[in-house]
Amino acid sequence: MSPAAAMKTVPSMSTTMQPELARPITRICVVGAGLSGLCTLRHFTADPAYKVTAYEQQDRVGGLWNYPEGCENYKNLQDDTSPYFCRMHRNLKTNATKFFMTFAGEPRMTEEMDMFPTPQMVGKYLKTYAEYHGLYNHIKMRHVVKSISPLGDNPQNPKEKQRWKVVVFDLATSSLNEEIFDVVIICNGQYRKLHTPDIPTLENFGGTVLHSGEYRTRQPFQNQNVLLIGSGQSANDLTCDLRVVVNKMLVVRRRQTDTFDDTARFPNILRISEPLHFTTNGVILDDGQVMPLDTVILCTGYDLDFPFLTPECRVKFNRGRVWPLYHHMINCDYPTMAFIGCILKAIPVLPVVEDQVRYYKVLLDGGFSLPSTEEMKAECEQDYQSRMKKGMSDHKAHVMRPFDLRLLPYLDQLAKEADLIPWTLVMRKIAITCDNSNTVEPCDARNYHFDIINGENFTMKRIQESS
């Protein structure tokens, strides 16, 4: 069975029948032309009932999945309109198999992709996807959305059609333009604004301090002593990439047990505990010894950022939470505003995004109705409070781990309400396997080849030793 068939056989639109009577054209604004924006464009532009315009501040599609040549020479670059803006590192490979890095029912180009693709491979795929579906005709490049605000303030009045005023800055002409839309779909991604926490005494350190989002290659760290703060996926990736070139790597990780505690496998990695006490040229260890340091790398994640939303949109956001969003997606007060791709740490990212897009399109098509505003807000609050009771941090309000308890039930709920085709058992198994492997064996997880046998089973075979 091919990966495409195993994923799920999905029609181009939805399984809900479209009405025969002509509908008025619905104008949709899409913010961003990364993977979420492109997927949104693909599904809505194929339906003549919608007229879609996407605004992309870069000069290319793909968003995060770009590694501009020469970006290594632009350190500390925070201007996300620059052609050299980047949040990847050169040796990165995805933590999901290629089955999850393409959209369903498409020419998958799997022959050109490694089992765990590089950002360059994913970026090439997304550009081909955009060309194949004629999406460039609907994208305004080098356009920055400056503000979004609702027209009128009565979203519950069924006689009053909700519309949106979108103000956009054209970088090419340095001009502001105002457009009116019926629907706004926000797809500007999660990984642009660096989260840099206040770390006591770090100001004492005289060496290099950078965020993992600014890390490009390991060569500058040859024979250095490096302190890496964090225990998420970026921390795992950089630890695995750097350990072969650094002299000594110190890691600060809050997990009780950790793969990198194995000194036989990782002899140059030393785990230290908080609080940290920095000196001018190092850090004081638990035993009072001062360990010299050259570089501190903050693997502390990103802040969700929607600077263009006005208070009238009735959406609040902080480091990792947007609320109130029904199903982590739909503005409870203004359901004609949706956020695609806000959920965090979902390894099978492209299929998850596509399910969200399909769900929202079926809703706009009239395939089902939402609960009342009060009911939607109550569900949002219940989900949030259940996370807090389990000791999760506030910024993990959209995290979907563990997959079997959060992500997959979430997708099943979307499928049930919008009459979408659920994931096959084999893809569920592969998603869980990849997620567990990345947690338990971060330096080894990508050294396997997966073959799909049928809709329920797969095999995995080791292809190389981790370096």
CATH code for the domain of 235: 3.50.50.60
Residue 356 within a domain: yes
Residue 460 covered by a domain: no
Q: Are residues 64 and 126 in the same domain?
A: yes
Q: Which residue has the tokens 């989260």?
A: 195
My answer on whether 152 and 56 are in the same domain is yes
Q: CA angle, 314 as apex, 302 and 180 as ends, to 5°? A: 95
Looking at the structure, do residues 136 and 157 belong to the same domain, yes or no?
yes
Secondary structure class of 381 (helix, strand, coil): helix
Geometric angle at alpha carbon 272, from 270 and 275, rounded to 5°: 160
Q: pLDDT in tens for each of the 467 residues of the chain? A: 544 455 554 433 444 444 445 678 999 999 999 999 999 999 999 999 999 999 999 999 999 899 998 999 988 888 899 999 999 999 999 999 999 998 986 655 666 789 999 999 999 999 999 999 999 999 999 999 999 999 975 555 544 678 999 999 999 999 999 999 999 999 998 889 999 999 999 999 999 999 999 999 999 999 999 999 998 889 999 999 999 999 999 999 877 667 888 889 999 999 988 889 999 999 998 788 899 999 999 999 999 999 999 999 999 999 999 999 999 999 999 999 999 998 876 677 899 999 999 999 999 999 999 999 999 999 999 999 999 999 999 999 999 988 999 999 999 999 999 999 999 999 999 999 999 998 889 999 999 999 999 999 999 999 865 54
> Rounded to a whole number, what is the distance in angstroms from the first to the last CA of the chain?
32
- Please check whether residues 180 and 98 belong to one and the same domain: yes
List the domain range (segments joined by +) for residue 291: 196-298
Cα angle 150-154-155, degrees, rounded to a multiple of 5:
75
Query: Is 207 found in the same domain as 110?
Result: no
Rounded CA gap, 322 and 380, in Å? 10
Domain boundary among the residues 232, 263, 298 is at 298
Residue 456 in domain: no
| Number of separate domains in the chain | 2
Q: Is residue 448 assigned to a domain?
A: no
Q: In the prediction, which pLDDT does 257 show?
A: 65
- Both tokens of residue 121? 């491979």
pLDDT of residue 12: 37
Among residues 298, 326, 359, the one where a domain terminates is 298
Q: Which of 91, 131, 130, 133 is nearest to 114 (CA)?
A: 91
- Max Cα separation, the chain? 77
431 in the same domain as 357: yes
CA-nearest of 404, 453, 451, 460 to 431 is 404
- The answer on 277 and 225 residing in a single domain is yes
How much is the pTM?
0.92
User: What is the per-residue pLDDT for 464?
Assistant: 65
Please tell me the predicted confidence (pLDDT) of residue 159. 46
One domain, residues 33 and 168: yes
Are 287 and 361 in the same domain?
no
Is the domain of 247 the same as that of 383? no
Q: Look at residue 464 and tell me if it is in a domain.
A: no
233 found inside a domain: yes
Residue 461 counted as domain residue: no
Dihedral sign for Cα atoms in the order 71, 341, 386, 373: positive
151 & 210 share domain: no
What is the separation of C-alpha 174 from the centre of its chain, rounded to a whole number of angstroms? 30
Residues 283, 336 within the same domain: no
Residue 139 contacts residue 133 (beta carbons within 8 Å): no
